[in-house]
């Protein structure tokens, strides 16, 4: 069964600290993996998109890594800010056949940054 699991479910950190969010998936075949940020009451906004040939991709203070062999990804946030408080969603895109273009969503990690 094609699934995307994220951990932890929620996380609280102090402003200025770093954190790492995890994503494991079983989607196969696989096209790309995306990390989205969803602020409360808003739609998801894309942070990074990685294909199976990419190991890492950065977007400012956000760095995503991908290990397509173990089907694991992580999102590292450096020097957290209060505005980083949001839900971070891992999304895997299917590769071909019946899964082509189909997106599989994780439940998200709810990050809270305290001052």
Q: Which of 44, 63, 77, 111 forms a contact with another protein (CB under 8 A)? A: 44
Q: What are phi and psi of 69, to 5 degrees?
A: -70, -45
CA-to-CA distance for 47 and 89, rounded, in angstroms? 10
Q: How far apart are CB 86 and another protein at their closest, in Å? A: 14
Q: How far apart are CB 36 and another protein at their closest, in Å? A: 8
Q: Quick one: CA dihedral 43, 3, 71, 5, positive or negative?
A: positive
Contact between 46 and another protein by CB under 8 A: the answer reads yes
Q: What are phi and psi of 99, to 5 degrees?
A: -95, 0
Contact between 109 and another protein by CB under 8 A: the answer reads no
Residues of this chain that interact with another protein (CB under 8 A) are: 4, 31-32, 34, 41-46, 49, 89, 93, 100-103, 105-108
């Amino acid at each position: 069964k094609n699934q995307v699991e994220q951990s932890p479910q929620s996380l609280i950190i102090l402003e200025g600290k770093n954190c790492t969010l995890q994503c494991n998936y079983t989607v196969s075949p696989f096209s790309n993996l995306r990390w989205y940020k969803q602020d409360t009451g808003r739609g998801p906004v894309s942070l990074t998109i990685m294909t199976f040939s990419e190991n890492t991709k950065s977007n400012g203070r956000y760095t995503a890594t991908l290990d397509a062999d173990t089907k694991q990804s992580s999102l590292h946030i450096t020097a957290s800010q209060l505005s980083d408080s949001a839900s971070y969603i891992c999304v895997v895109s299917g590769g071909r056949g019946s899964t082509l273009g189909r997106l599989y969503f994780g439940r998200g990690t709810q990050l809270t940054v305290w001052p």
